[in-house]
Amino acid sequence: MEVKIGVQHAPREIVLESDLSAEELESIVSAALSGNEPLLSLTDNKGRKVLVPSDRLSYVDLGEPTARKVGFGAL
């Protein structure tokens, strides 16, 4: 699942691919936004860990993974 995280005072969003389901990601984000967790902590498909302070979260967008197109075929 593709996750986009907007951080306050940062010009770019953080984009990662996660193996977690939408429900699991939503519960992790909800815990961070409710103040129960000081950090939003997610791990992507490649094993990299992303830590964002909960008080700096602007938005979190959960979406489906985008399929990469390969080749030079007509669109």
Q: Between β-strands 2-7 and 14-17, what pairing exists: parallel, antiparallel or unpaired?
A: antiparallel
Is 48 among the domain residues? yes
Whether 74 shows a pLDDT value over 80: the answer reads no
At 59, is the secondary structure helix, strand, or coil? strand
* 55, β-bridge pairs: none
Q: How many domains does the chain have?
A: 1
Is 40 among the domain residues? yes
Is 27 among the domain residues? yes
Domain range for 28 is 2-63
* 42, β-bridge pairs: 50
Is 36 among the domain residues? yes
Tell me the average pLDDT across 2-17: 94
CATH number, residue 44: 2.30.30
DSSP helix, strand, coil percent of the chain (3-state; round to 5): 20, 35, 45
CA-to-CA distance for 41 and 38, rounded, in angstroms? 9
Whole-structure pTM value: 0.78
